[in-house]
Structure 1
Amino acid sequence: MATFQLEFVSPEKLLLSRPVEMALLPAAEGEMGVLPGHAPMIVALRGGVIGVQEGGQITERLFVAGGFAEITPNRVTILADDATPVAQLSRSDAERRIAECETALAEAQSGTPERRDAAMARLLAARAMLDAAQAA
């Protein structure tokens, strides 16, 4: 099967760089599959799991709290603030993060719409982390 180059970058390091058959992305508008020859675009990522398919199988699953993906016909570059292999997620850490985000959202209610939106995005990412941890 045809492949494209997938590069996964966090602020600290290059996490992944290799040819893959498909990438499943948690785009802000919904789940998105990327195959070789995809139309060029830049998409915002919400909190969720990125799946990497090689040899007809999902070989890697990484949780991201958000970020961006640049897609070209031959390459996908994912820029994420934070990435964790799904197998390393902890339900207790996710629950703690949800509690912190709920408190921050309550405090942001009197703030600007941008502040409320950012707090809600962090809460939704924490809930997605809990879902991924429970499914692992």
Structure 2
Amino acid sequence: MSDKLHFSLVSPERELFAGEVDQVDAPGSEGQFGVLPGHAPFMATLKAGVVVVFEGDKRTRLFVRSGFADVTPQGLTILAEEAIDLIDFDATKSEAALASAKLELESADEDDAKVRLIETISYLEALIASAA
């Protein structure tokens, strides 16, 4: 059994992280979970939240919108709908987008538009809160 876990986080735009790590904590749709080297294989869906990557004393925080986590004997792969390295995150644009979505929701007439706006608001609130 290796003392490191191979971890890869991929979004449609790019591979955001790849390397050998000590542990990864992720926001599962049924609750937070952690993966260590030698973990039993499983798959899980992810909700919006922070993936924390542990490399010795270093912690990397990556926000994922949603996606899937796949633990295999080779390691952990996260396929994210959207992923952001929180070290690079500037909340200003997201706060403006959140205010705009809330205003748009107040005047939305169609149910589909309301559902889309509620999902967007929830995502932006989670993103802003995670960066604080």
Q: What is the TM-score normalised by the length of structure 2?
A: 0.80
Distance 2:82 2:95 in 1: 17
Identity %: 32
Unpaired segments ≥5 residues, structure 2: none
Indicate yes or no: 2:128 matched with 1:130. yes
In structure 2, the CA distance between the partners of 1:74 and 1:98, relative to structure 1 (3 Å rule), is: same
For residue 40 of structure 2, what is the aligned residue in structure 1? 39
Question: Secondary structure at the residue paired with 1:15?
Answer: strand
CA deviations 1:56-110 (Å, max 9, x no partner) are: x343111112211111244110111222211222222221232344456664862
For residue 25 of structure 1, what is the aligned residue in structure 2? 26
Q: CA deviation at 1:125?
A: 1.9
Distance 2:129 2:99 in 1: 15
For residue 85 of structure 1, what is the aligned residue in structure 2? 85
In structure 2, the CA distance between the partners of 1:74 and 1:105, relative to structure 1 (3 Å rule), is: farther
Q: Is the 8 A contact 1:65 1:126 kept in 2?
A: no
> Runs (4+) of structure 1 moved beyond 6 Å?
none
For residue 8 of structure 1, what is the aligned residue in structure 2? 9
Unpaired segments ≥5 residues, structure 1: none
Q: Is the 8 A contact 1:36 1:74 kept in 2?
A: no
* Residue-pair matches, total: 130
In structure 2, the CA distance between the partners of 1:96 and 1:67, relative to structure 1 (3 Å rule), is: farther
Q: Is the 8 A contact 2:16 2:85 kept in 1?
A: no
CA RMSD in angstroms, aligned pairs only? 2.5
Amino acid in the other structure paired with 2:43: I
Q: What is the TM-score normalised by the length of structure 1?
A: 0.78
In structure 2, the CA distance between the partners of 1:105 and 1:3, relative to structure 1 (3 Å rule), is: farther
Distance 1:22 1:91 in 2: 27
Bigger radius of gyration = 2
Amino acid in the other structure paired with 2:41: P
Q: CA deviation at 1:31?
A: 1.6
For residue 50 of structure 1, what is the aligned residue in structure 2? 51
